């Protein structure tokens, strides 16, 4: 009985999150209301409030589900090692965002009013923790030229990326500009911290050194 109830709850959750992406693609984040979402998902409005709390809870669950899938995919790949793990994370995130710009663009354009320095609240903190763990491994392996606060470094890297992503979402820059400027920003930050030969590699990746 309990297993059957849990399976139904999980199925309802998947249906709601699928409907969330569909509704955002059609009407943007402003068009995402609990009533419209309930209609599209085929559930009662009360069910949404019981499972997610409010619309912000739905958005957090939607983005978190995307991160869950991404982490599963990354875990299935061979270990890239420190620093490259962070690079692969951002590459994977960008592939996801560019595959559904009509969904992720509206989401990120709404983040400027969110909590935390990066505007993503607990979801952003989760990504920062992933980067921080990678930088901690790099520090333990002696890859940085100086001792550093890996939490502060991870938050700076992520916030810098988010600032550019919001500019793309708001139409200030094109996707190609977002990609090139994000790569430049990340690699210059890394080059300022990494020991050789990783420093030279980061500079080469940035495109400013040939």
Domain that residue 99 falls in = 77-210
8 A C-beta contact, residue 185 and residue 206: no
The verdict on 130 and 170 lying in the same domain is yes
The CATH number of whichever domain residue 36 belongs to comes to: 1.10.10.60
Residue labelled with tokens 């590459």: 91
Q: Is residue 69 part of a domain?
A: no
The mean of the pLDDT values for the chain is: 91
Q: Is residue 150 part of a domain?
A: yes
| Predicted confidence (pLDDT) per residue in 43-85, tens digit | 999 999 999 999 989 998 999 999 998 888 888 889 999 999 9
The verdict on 108 and 162 lying in the same domain is yes
Q: Which of 61, 91, 106 is the last residue of a domain?
A: 61
Q: Is residue 68 part of a domain?
A: no
pLDDT confidence of residue 116: 52
Instruction: Tell me the C-alpha distance between 157 and 105, whole Å.
Output: 20
Q: Is residue 141 part of a domain?
A: yes
Q: Is residue 66 part of a domain?
A: no
| Predicted confidence (pLDDT) per residue in 88-139, tens digit | 999 999 999 999 999 999 998 886 544 454 456 788 899 999 999 999 999 9
Q: Is residue 156 part of a domain?
A: yes
C-alpha distances in Å from residue 117, one per residue of 13, 121, 128, 144: 29, 8, 11, 25
Q: Look up residue 110 and give its DSSP letter.
A: T
pTM for the predicted model, two decimal places = 0.89
Instruction: Tell me the C-alpha distance between 62 and 23, whole Å.
Output: 12
Contacts of 87 (CB under 8 A, 6+ apart): 80, 186
The verdict on 45 and 95 lying in the same domain is no
| 124 burial level (CB within 10 Å; 0-12, 13-18, 19+) | buried
Query: How many domains does the chain fold into?
Result: 2
């Amino acid at each position: 009985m309990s297993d059957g109830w849990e399976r139904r709850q999980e199925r309802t959750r998947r249906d709601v999150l699928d409907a969330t992406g569909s509704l955002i693609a059609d009407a943007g984040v402003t068009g995402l209301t609990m009533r419209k979402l309930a209609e599209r998902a085929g559930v009662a409005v009360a069910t949404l409030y019981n499972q997610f709390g409010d619309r912000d809870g739905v958005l957090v669950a939607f983005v978190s589900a995307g991160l869950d899938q991404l982490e599963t995919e990354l875990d299935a790949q061979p270990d890239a090692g420190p620093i490259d793990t962070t690079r692969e994370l951002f590459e994977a995130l960008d592939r996801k965002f560019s595959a559904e710009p009509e969904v992720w663009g509206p989401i990120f354009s709404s983040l400027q009013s969110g909590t935390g320095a990066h505007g993503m609240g607990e979801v952003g903190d989760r990504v920062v923790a992933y980067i921080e763990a990678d930088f901690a491994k790099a520090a333990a392996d002696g890859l940085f030229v100086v001792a550093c606060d890996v939490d502060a470094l991870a938050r700076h890297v992520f916030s810098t990326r988010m600032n550019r992503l919001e500019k793309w979402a708001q139409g200030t820059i094109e996707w190609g500009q977002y990609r090139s400027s994000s790569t430049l920003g990340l690699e210059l930050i890394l080059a300022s911290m990494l020991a050789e030969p990783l420093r030279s590699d980061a500079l080469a990746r940035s495109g400013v050194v040939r």
